Amino acid sequence: MTDAAQETIYLKDYRPFAYIVDDVHLTFKLADTATRVISRISFRPNTDFPGEFFLHGQDVKLISAKIDGVAVSPNVTPDGLTCDVPDAPFVWEAEVEISPSTNTALEGLYMSGGMYCTQCEAEGFRKITFYPDRPDVMSVFTVRVEGDYPVLLSNGNPVASGEGWAEWHDPWPKPAYLFALVAGNLVAHPSSFTTMSGKDVDLNIYVRPGPDEDKCAFGMEALKRSMKWDEDVYGREYDLDIFNIVAVDDFNMGAMENKGLNIFNSSCVLASPETSTDANFERIEAIIAHEYFHNWTGNRITCRDWFQLCLKEGLTVFRDQQYTGDQGSHAVKRIEDAITLRSRQFREDGGPLAHPVRPESFIEINNFYTITVYEKGAELIGMLKRLVGDAEYYKALDLYFTRHDGDAATIEDWLQVFEDSTGRDLTQFKRWYSQAGTPHVTVTDDFKDGTYTINLKQETSPTPGQDSKQAQVIPIAVGLLSQNGDEVSPTRVLEMTEDSQSFTFEGLAAKPVPSILRDFSAPVILQREQSNTERAFLMAHDTDPFNKWDAGQTLAKNVLIQMITQDAAPDGAFLDGIAAILRDDTLDPAFRALAVSLPSEDDMAQSLHGAGTTPDPLAIHHAVEALRVAMAQHVQDILPRIQAGMTVSGPYSPDAKSAGKRSLGNTVLGLLSRLDGGAAAAKQYDEADNMTMQLAGLAALLKLGKGSAESQAFRTQWRDDRLVMDKWFGLTVSMAAPENAARTAMQLTQEPDFDMKNPNRFRAVFGALAGNSAGFHDASGASYTLLGNWLAKLDAINPQTTARMTAAFETWPRYDADRQSKMRGALETLGATAGLSRDTGEMVGRMLG
Ligand code: 0A1
Ligand code: ZN
């Protein structure tokens, strides 16, 4: 299928490196196409694990090499080099040449907007120089950067600098994937932070001179809040004199936690009220926190090998979720996280790309920076915390930090800490790390003589390479309500460990209504025969905000399924429930916005498929729209009042309360526009003084098939702001009618400012196409072909982003024979591309099975 080597790496084959690295000195002489990197590295044999001296190296030209000052001639291959070395400590010196300006893969040292920057996770350092590029080789780095730029940065603390050079020293031993270098004509947005022990830390956000300088203030404050939070909640203090963040336009992912020098996709750090939405602000704050939290969970304690990725990512996502909850509403954050998990992780778990939170093999590790490793990984931490309790959780974390500081650790180490600290046996819990797939938990119940019994059955479908599954430990939080809505039994966590298990509640006067899986206490799919009346009852009365929201979602899904499969009319109980939520001013507006939002079309396809029905994306699209219109009509008399009540006056602030009001106001605007032909949306667009309101006005118009004048005005107004233009490209494709989606995306690729080398712009267009469910799955197959062809083109310049985006096709098994063959056909064509990368080759191979 592909020219690139498809060698599979296995967790079971792990072996420590045969040499220990005592220190690393690097000198960079920067030049666009011919940067010289001079390394001086002290090695000594690892007597416990003797073996070959192999250094990784890829696309680096070896100029010279010496051992202890004497020239040597290593054996260089496309992957690295081997060399005869002394059986005693020695100093390795090498000079290599690399070409940052032609590096479009954005891995290693590359150029973006005239600046030099790096991305070394997972295996990018080997594109910079020859080195044991593996996370268990940790060392102290000293770096000299030479180049004619005002700003020259690397990890750690600044040591010395002069005209055209700077030296940095990072005292904390680190693996090569945390190395970073930045050079360019940049300006700093400076500030400082005093740590809990009274140390002053210099903070900077670096951007290019110009409009970006006014978009740093929010990120800086978010950084300080994160630093304080990690001290208060986890007792973790920052450990260098300086912490730098740099914004880069061309970046494959969101951001990177390099020690003391975080590098961010500019979309994940730059913010201003005029150009960023409330959702952007929330995401930026979460990502800044996430990267900062990695300083302890990832950097001070890193991963032994890449199979352990969830050790740092699951825990760090869990920490950033806790942080976001603390900044606003835990209930709203939990609902948002559950939406993400169900729509993207359950989708991955249910398709050909399913893999365990800790995979056991891979071809290209970059393909495993997935929603499963990150978000399901975070769910596992949340379940552990729920099982052991808060106090025990923080006690275990303290032990983790003391025991493993400076280590490259494993999931076994992590679980051992919890076992030692709490005395619990986690043997069965560990299955969560090795079993892929989403458990289905089926619930039945009965009531007799004051005793209420809940019967649970768990089952996980086979996933690639795992035919049979064993029972997992599932914490199921349950509360009971009386028929009049009072809570008769407060939340209790049932610890399910068997395939089938029953739990009883004694001394009840009457049969209660159960509220099961409160707070989304486990990443499972709950299955229960339940009437729409009971769902509506829970939607109205459940005291657990997650389940109150979820009752409405389950009800909405059921109503939609009835509309799609039986041509039923929108259910009255559902419409009344929506009206009651909208009317209830005691509820948090952000919660109300979520509670009256319908499941996404892709979620509906997933649910239908799960229920044994082949989804028709166009029928789903029409049903969702019909239900929205019915909702709007049902609540039309209250919409203007609610919208007026959600007006936020005064200067824009992204705080949770104001954002929540705008969120509900804009949800209501979406409903109103179904009744007024877009009048309120056009007015909002004209009057908006911030991006949240402007974009919501435009989106509502485009959804109606209107707003072409506003869309053009928007394009003109924001022509020079690339992050806002990404929104415009994305929205244009997301809002295109199903039959026009492919054509719209294709036309946008012909715009002068469509640049496939910029991952943000490519994703804006093609991520939006894949996300426009009815448009992507248009029966003509035009979107499949278009995306497949563009991925083939992108692969030649950026394999990593290409490979990630192939996941648009992972849902092929859900659909009818015609769509299946068209989706598989697009994958086969992509797979047959000459010179296809290992990254994309692996993804296509896994999807085609
Ligand atoms: N560790 C980063 C994510 C990241 C991973 C890989 C990258 O390049 C291949 C870049 C960033 C994080 O979790 O934020
Ligand atoms: Zn991370």
**DSSP per residue, 584-645:** -TTS-HHHHHHHTPPPPHHHHHHHHHHTT----HHHHHHHHHHHHHHHHHHTTTTHHHHHHH
The predicted model gives 753-778 an average pLDDT of 99
Those residues with Cβ within 8 angstroms of residue 304's Cβ, 6 or more apart along the chain or in another chain: 14, 135, 136, 408, 409, 410
Within 77-194, residue ranges assigned H as helices are: none
Question: Token digits for 113?
Answer: 């907007």
The predicted model gives 367-386 an average pLDDT of 99
Those residues with Cβ within 8 angstroms of residue 416's Cβ, 6 or more apart along the chain or in another chain: none
Cβ atoms of 742 and 786 closer than 8 Å? yes
Question: Token digits for 70?
Answer: 């004497």
In this structure, the residue with its CA closest to atom 1 of ligand 1 is 256
C-alpha 289 – ligand 2 centre gap (Å): 10
- Gap between the Cα atoms of 596 and 634, Å rounded: 13
In this structure, the residue with its CA closest to atom 4 of ligand 1 is 256
- Gap between the Cα atoms of 94 and 85, Å rounded: 14
In this structure, the residue with its CA closest to atom 8 of ligand 1 is 121
Q: How high is the ipTM of this complex?
A: 0.98
Packing angle between helix 309-327 and helix 411-422, nearest 10 degrees?
Answer: 60
- Residue 196 pLDDT more than 70? yes
Among the bound ligands, the one closest to the CA of 800: 1
C-alpha 263 – ligand 1 centre gap (Å): 10
Within 677-740, residue ranges assigned H as helices are: 679-687, 691-703, 708-717, 722-734
Q: Which atom of ligand 1 is nearest to the CA of 298?
A: 1
Q: Which atom of ligand 1 is nearest to the CA of 317?
A: 13
Cβ atoms of 787 and 766 closer than 8 Å? yes
- Local confidence band at 3 (pLDDT 50, 70, 90 cut-offs): very low
| Amino acid at residue number 281 | F
Say what the pLDDT of residue 67 is.
98
In this structure, the residue with its CA closest to atom 2 of ligand 1 is 256
The predicted model gives 414-431 an average pLDDT of 98
In this structure, the residue with its CA closest to atom 6 of ligand 1 is 121
- Gap between the Cα atoms of 81 and 91, Å rounded: 16
Sign of CA pseudo-dihedral 89, 95, 101, 104? negative
Pocket perturbation via mutation, ligand 1, pick of 256, 261, 291, 837 by most ligand atoms within 8 A of CB = 256
Q: How far is CA 532 from CA 52, 170, 527, 566, 605, in A?
A: 66, 60, 14, 16, 20
User: Model confidence over 243-266: pLDDT tens digits?
Assistant: 999 999 999 999 999 999 999 999
Q: How far is CA 673 from CA 95, 629, 676, 762, in A?
A: 64, 9, 5, 30
Q: Which atom of ligand 1 is nearest to the CA of 369?
A: 5
Cβ atoms within 10 A of the Cβ of 107, count? 25
Mean pLDDT, the chain, rounded, equals: 98
User: Model confidence over 125-180: pLDDT tens digits?
Assistant: 999 999 999 999 999 999 999 999 999 999 999 999 999 999 999 999 999 999 99
SS3 234: helix
Cβ atoms of 119 and 256 closer than 8 Å? yes
Q: DSSP code of 109?
A: E
633-640: long-range contacts at Cβ-Cβ below 8 A with a sequence spacing of 24 or more?
633/674, 633/675, 634/575, 634/576, 634/578, 634/579, 635/575, 635/578, 635/579, 635/582, 635/671, 636/675, 638/579, 638/582, 638/583, 639/668, 639/671, 639/672, 639/675, 640/672
- Gap between the Cα atoms of 128 and 122, Å rounded: 13
- Local confidence band at 96 (pLDDT 50, 70, 90 cut-offs): very high
- Gap between the Cα atoms of 540 and 578, Å rounded: 9
In this structure, the residue with its CA closest to atom 5 of ligand 1 is 121
- Gap between the Cα atoms of 645 and 655, Å rounded: 17
- Residue 2 pLDDT more than 60? no
The partner residues of 463 in beta bridges, in order of sequence, read 466
Helices then strands, each counted (H, E), the chain: 29, 31
Those residues with Cβ within 8 angstroms of residue 306's Cβ, 6 or more apart along the chain or in another chain: 122, 135, 362, 365, 368
Identify the residue whose tokens are 């750690």.
Answer: 156
Cβ atoms of 444 and 458 closer than 8 Å? no
- Local confidence band at 207 (pLDDT 50, 70, 90 cut-offs): very high
pTM above 0.90, yes or no: yes
β-pair type (487-496, 474-481): antiparallel
Please list the helix, strand and coil fractions of the chain in percent, rounded to the nearest 5, in that order: 45, 20, 35
Q: Which atom of ligand 1 is nearest to the CA of 119?
A: 8
Ranges assigned E (strand) in 30-164:
35-45, 54-56, 61-67, 70-71, 75-77, 80-82, 90-98, 108-112, 115-119, 139-146, 151-154, 157-162
C-alpha 352 – ligand 2 centre gap (Å): 24
Among the bound ligands, the one closest to the CA of 110: 1
Chain centre distance of CA 800: 15
Among the bound ligands, the one closest to the CA of 798: 1
C-alpha 835 – ligand 2 centre gap (Å): 31
- Gap between the Cα atoms of 45 and 90, Å rounded: 9
Q: Which atom of ligand 1 is nearest to the CA of 291?
A: 14
C-alpha 253 – ligand 1 centre gap (Å): 6
C-alpha 369 – ligand 2 centre gap (Å): 9
In this structure, the residue with its CA closest to atom 13 of ligand 1 is 313
- Local confidence band at 6 (pLDDT 50, 70, 90 cut-offs): confident
Q: Is 835 exposed, middle or buried (0-12, 13-18, 19+ CB in 10 A)?
A: exposed
Those residues with Cβ within 8 angstroms of residue 493's Cβ, 6 or more apart along the chain or in another chain: 386, 387, 475, 476, 477, 478, 521
Identify the residue whose tokens are 């319908």.
Answer: 598
In this structure, the residue with its CA closest to atom 7 of ligand 1 is 121
Cβ atoms of 544 and 481 closer than 8 Å? no
By annotation, the residues acting in catalysis are 291
- Gap between the Cα atoms of 643 and 654, Å rounded: 19
C-alpha 115 – ligand 2 centre gap (Å): 24
Among the bound ligands, the one closest to the CA of 178: 1
Say what the pLDDT of residue 401 is.
99
Among the bound ligands, the one closest to the CA of 378: 2
* Sheet with strand 487-496: strands edge to edge: 487-496, 474-481, 513-516
Identify the residue whose tokens are 């199921």.
Answer: 476
Nearest to 124 by CA among 330, 263, 288: 263
C-alpha 133 – ligand 2 centre gap (Å): 19
Pocket perturbation via mutation, ligand 1, pick of 121, 259, 370 by most ligand atoms within 8 A of CB = 121
- Gap between the Cα atoms of 627 and 639, Å rounded: 16
Cβ atoms within 10 A of the Cβ of 463, count? 20
Q: Which atom of ligand 1 is nearest to the CA of 800?
A: 9
β-pair type (187-194, 361-362): unpaired
Sign of CA pseudo-dihedral 800, 291, 348, 785? negative
User: Model confidence over 448-481: pLDDT tens digits?
Assistant: 999 999 999 999 999 999 999 999 999 999 999 9
- Gap between the Cα atoms of 387 and 473, Å rounded: 10
Q: Which atom of ligand 1 is nearest to the CA of 313?
A: 13
The predicted model gives 312-318 an average pLDDT of 99
C-alpha 825 – ligand 2 centre gap (Å): 34
Question: Ligand 1: which residues within 6 Å by Cβ?
Answer: 119, 121-122, 252-257, 290-291, 313, 366, 369, 800
- Gap between the Cα atoms of 27 and 450, Å rounded: 77
Chain centre distance of CA 379: 13
Say what the pLDDT of residue 171 is.
98
In this structure, the residue with its CA closest to atom 3 of ligand 1 is 256
Say what the pLDDT of residue 5 is.
63
Q: Please report which helix (H) or strand (E) contains residue 794, including its range.
A: helix 782-795
- Gap between the Cα atoms of 656 and 659, Å rounded: 5
Q: Is 210 exposed, middle or buried (0-12, 13-18, 19+ CB in 10 A)?
A: exposed
Please, what is the Cα angle at 560 between 554 and 563, to 5 degrees?
145
- Gap between the Cα atoms of 630 and 198, Å rounded: 59
